[in-house]
Amino acid sequence: MPPLPIDLHPAAVDEARAAREWYAERSAAAGTAFMTELDNAIDRIRESPDRWPADLHETRRYLLKRFPYLVIYRLIEDRIQVIAVAHGKRKPGYWRHRT
């Protein structure tokens, strides 16, 4: 089965951009490393979307290894929707209204 397409919620894109900018302000290498890890996470989710733990509202979550962020996503028919790129310690569940 070919990998499923990924749809990014506009707010998730904004969250990823804000996190990258925050890290880049401290270190250009950290900003680049954050985006590389996020891209790798999305690729892994695409390859095996059922692999990561189920969460609220039929979502799943992928925890980045080097950064305290979660990729919150869900399967919708023939695609994967990334709902949030959420900091793991701030405002848990704030993204729920997006589902």
Residue 13 falls within a domain, yes or no? yes
For residues 22 and 33, is the Cβ–Cβ distance under 8 A?
no
Q: By residue range, what is the domain housing residue 86?
A: 6-90
| pTM listed for this prediction | 0.88
Digit-by-digit pLDDT tens for the chain (99 residues) are: 678 899 999 999 999 999 999 999 999 999 999 999 999 999 999 999 999 988 877 899 999 999 999 999 999 888 999 999 999 887 776 677 776
Residue 11 falls within a domain, yes or no? yes
CATH number, domain with residue 23: 3.30.2310.20
- Number of structural domains (the chain) is 1
